[in-house]
Structure 1
Amino acid sequence: METRILVVEDDVEIADSLIRGLSEEGYLVEHAPDGDTARVALLDLNWDLIVLDWWLPGPDGLVLLKRFRQSGGESPVLFLTARDAVSDRVRGLDGGADDYLCKPFSFEELLARVRALVRRGGHGTGGVLKYGDVRVDAIAGRAERAGKALDLTPKEQALLVYFLRHPGQVLTRTRIYDHVWDESFDGLSNTLEVHVKELRRKLESQNGTRLIHTLRGRGYLFGESPRGPEGMP
């Protein structure tokens, strides 16, 4: 399984350098350019590593880090900042960071710290996927929301697992069908719609907020409610 790294950095030049360098090392890298985008991305608790800048538009890195830890996030976090005072380093580590790197830094040093943190791990998914209050143990075949078990069919669980692996992404019907049903989508079958409707019902049976959103003409999105006229509850 690929190692997933979330880079939270608003400086375009630094972000591009990190994304390019880490991708060349074989990591699967996703980028959040500000605090609001990062807040959504961090609802996915299954990152193998988070590279987090302190100063960000919107919620800053320290606020995001504390919220992530409070929500149960255990992924290793490498904190990046131009603040090099001992008191600032202490605040970052006490806030939940696993390591601390001051700007400017060499990519070689950052890469060494990334390798060490990835080896050390933290959240130990082991087949467990989380998003908000939804949790699936794919190996044990258990799914729950807000601590309450969900009675899912094998196909519904496979669908939920696929959604959990791609939170916040627009997933076309063809893409979902190809991965969950392992066969080509003929464009006529309503099998996917039926399964999504039933999975949505079960996820919301305990008065939970809607997580599976239909986007007209585009597909589905799992996560926070999309904004704009194309989003349909």
Structure 2
Amino acid sequence: MRFLLIEDNLKLAQAVVERLQLDGHAVDHADTLDTAEACISVADYDLILLDIMLPDGDGRDFLVQQRRAKKRTPVIVITARSAVSDRVGLLDLGADDYITKPFDFSELEARCRAVLRRQGGEANNAKTFSNTELDSTAGELRFGAQTLTLRNRELRLLEVFYNAPGQVFSKSYLMDRLFSLSDEASENAIEVYVGRLRKRLEGSDAKIETVRGLGYRLVVA
């Protein structure tokens, strides 16, 4: 998954970015609303983490603009305001969730999972395809009697395929899902990760198929 963090507290931002990257997510950081707009103009995000008080404006105005533009990217607001009226106001403006400062990183991760799960219409974090099950919370791939623990970027890449079985994903799209704007990586990295996932899926009824000149898709073996 690819996240955009809009937060001007650089110490907090660095800690959040590092934690989410450990989970295998690609995370871009913007410390102003102008920078956030620039990021959104060149990349698509699965989730936005939005601070309220920013050097060049109010995060609530940014949220309202996003919703008026019919942009449905989920937004979790990071706020120091704990009053019920403040939290209700954020939800009414179009926020999908909120978390109050200071917060525990495990709670932030759980709220991210919950929002993404709701966005995908899922009841839980486990997705099935053919005789396999991908558990995003546990980071495990299961089929038959096997339970395989996935590395973080393996998990995030496999999530893309499990979210849309049969759909063809180009290397450039997968690059966009797996790496942030600051990461130095080439499309060869996607080939490496796809190769790893193919080995993980050996013995199951699922496989990642190459569609020549277009990309990859998850199909029944």
Determine which of 7, 10, 17 is the counterpart of 2:8.
10
Q: Highest relative contact order (Cα 8 Å, sep 6+), 1 or 2? A: 2
1:103 aligns with 2:101: yes
Taking structure 1 as the reference length, what is the TM-score of the superposition? 0.52
Equivalent residue pairs, number: 152
Letter aligned with residue 31 of structure 1: H
Secondary structure of 1:42's counterpart equals helix
Equivalent residue of 1:26, what SS? Answer: coil
Give the direction of change, closer, same or farther, for the CA distance of 1:5–1:77 in structure 2 (3 Å limit).
Answer: same
- RMSD of aligned residue pairs (Cα, Å): 3.9
Asked if 2 retains the 8 angstrom alpha-carbon contact of 1:54 and 1:81, the reply is yes
Matched position secondary structure for 1:29: strand
- The structure-2 alpha-carbon separation of the partners of 1:45 and 1:20, relative to structure 1 and needing over 3 Å to count, comes to closer
Match of 2:51 among 50, 53, 59: 53
**1:29 maps onto 2:66 in alignment:** no
Distance across 1 between alignment mates of 2:35 and 2:41: 10
**1:114-166 residue CA offsets vs partner (Å, 9 max, x unmatched):** 1111222269xx99xxxxxxxxxxx79xxxxxxxxxxxxxxxxx8x979x98x
Give secondary structure in 1 for the equivalent of 2:54.
coil
> What TM-score, normalized by structure 2, do the two folds share?
0.55
Separation (CA, whole Å) in 2 of partners of 1:45 and 1:60: 22
Q: What SS does structure 1 have at the residue aligned with 2:114?
A: helix
% identical aligned pairs: 41
Q: Which runs of 5+ in 2 are unaligned?
A: 122-159, 162-166, 190-221
CA distance in 2, matches of 1:161, 1:28: 13
Structure 1 residue 86 corresponds to structure 2 residue 84: yes
The aligned amino acid for 1:35 is L
**4+ residue runs of structure 1 moved beyond 4 angstroms?**
none
Using a 3 Å threshold, how does the CA distance of structure 1 residues 122 and 69 change in structure 2: closer, same or farther? farther
